[in-house]
Amino acid sequence: MAPTSSEDTHYQYLVIGGGSGGVASARRASKYGAKTLLIEGKALGGTCVNVGCVPKKVMWSASDTAKRIREARAYGFDVDRELANTFDWVGFKAKRDAYILRLNGIYERNLAKEGVTYVAGWAKFVDKKTVEVALNNPVDGQKTKRFTADHILVATGGAPKIPDGIPGAEHGITSDGFFSLETQPKKVAIVGAGYIGVELAGVFHGLGTETHLFIRGETVLRSFDEVIQNTITDTYIKHGVNIHKLSKTFANVEKLENGQLKISYEDISGPNQTIVVDTLIWTIGRKPLGEFLNLEVPGIKTDEKGQVIVDEYQNTSVPNIYSVGDIIGSVELTPVAIAAGRKLSNRLFGPEQFKNDKLDYTNVPSVIFSHPEAGSIGLSEAAAKKQFGEENVKVYQSKFISMYYAPLDPEDKDPTVYKIVVTGPEEKVVGLHLVGDASAEILQGFGAAIKMGATKADFDNVVAIHPTSAEEIVTMT
């Protein structure tokens, strides 16, 4: 609810964007006693809660359940494998959407509990200290309202891109549109080799959709270590995902009378290829959401991609205006935005001990909810050799089949591959790369160890937990 008296339009802290970073920073500032306003035009929680990691993980869990159904017979259960292809998309979507709606309400209640004023609307800068909000719910006919603040945080996040220059590209959807699909496509084309495309491909295939993944190179996940790239690519092909390698050009996308899409493309098989699908999803990257903020009015500098330029303390080029999250394009992960937002509020409004608080963007763990899962922290083998010199880098690697797959037929067994990258005579661990079931959970603990400066000897000195896959990380030779 927007404040009604003119005396209430000035705040110590004004946050534009109700995603993870903005909400975390606003709540922390208010906890310190700062009079705080948060402005959000869509749904509280931002990309992660509404069209990102949270509903994605719910869908991944459904797909993983289908996988377990297919494997149940090997464990002695009289279960027909085909039951895995009877997924109720419509009913499950309703449950998933209801869960997200509950989270939206929890976010709003938490803001109120912390004393943060929440205004639903779209903000833009009027000057360095003032923003104007187009209210979603006009009050007494008032469609806009202006607010001033001592400190302003820009945390508006990003949005998925649709490619330019491809006739009919608008007939495709993005990852946002994936969560709006009312029914399950029988045949889907996904374009992009990054983690979003890989995750969606795994979800669709696991739930029984014929899945085609178009990638520009020979492997998926090109920003990760080669062991992740190669293992996930090979495993997806083994599972039956149709990966179109060297797919560098799409001639056009045509919408047919029956609603299907005919795609003309070139891939490793050559030019002039065509495919007809029910749904086309672009996962070719994201763009910062700043074009409607009038960033040029206060003089906030951006780079050629439109990302807000900040220093190590999240300061923009304008004093008392800051930015965190996907709009700065540093490490586009929800926990990173949360940590950066909280540390910023610590510095601005917290006790003296936090006057230099800032986020360290190195050694941030990240995972891919593929099938199987993958996780990574630190440097890839190639990056480590480039930074430290090939002669100063050593690699430990192990590949095996986890005990879970013991009763399964060979074609149903997924690999587990772990790689440790170390440098220097003390063998400091500078990279850890995991592929295999539960990699996301395993990586969290080892991520803490690597952040603390662990060496290979520290790993070796930990008594293994047997029988687990994770024990391989502390017994690797």
97 marked as part of a ligand binding site: no
Write out the two tokens for 238: 């083994």
CA distance 122 to 11: 17
Q: If phi over 0 gives left and psi between -120 and 50 gives alpha, with beta otherwise, what is residue 246?
A: left
378 marked as part of a ligand binding site: no
CA distance 15 to 327: 14
Residues 6+ apart with CB under 8 A from 121: 2, 39, 40, 41, 133, 134, 135, 136, 145
303 marked as part of a ligand binding site: no
192 marked as part of a ligand binding site: yes
Residue with tokens 């937990």: 465
CA angle, 207 then 211 then 213, to 5°:
135
Closest alpha carbon to 67 in 55, 85, 54, 49: 85
Q: Is the peptide bond before 163 cis (omega within 30 degrees of 0)?
A: no
197 marked as part of a ligand binding site: yes
Residues marked as catalytic = 466
Strand-strand pairing, 261-267 and 210-214: unpaired
Residue with tokens 């480039």: 386
159 marked as part of a ligand binding site: no
299 marked as part of a ligand binding site: no
Instruction: Tell me the residue ranges of DSSP E strands in 210-333.
Output: 210-214, 242-244, 249-255, 261-267, 270-277, 279-282, 286-288, 321-323
290 marked as part of a ligand binding site: no
449 marked as part of a ligand binding site: no
141 marked as part of a ligand binding site: no
Q: Is the peptide bond before 372 cis (omega within 30 degrees of 0)?
A: yes
- Sequential DSSP letters for 113-161: HHT-EEEEEEEEEEETTEEEEEEEEEETTEEEEEEEEEEEEE---EEE-
2 marked as part of a ligand binding site: no
Binding residues for NAD(+): 192-199, 285
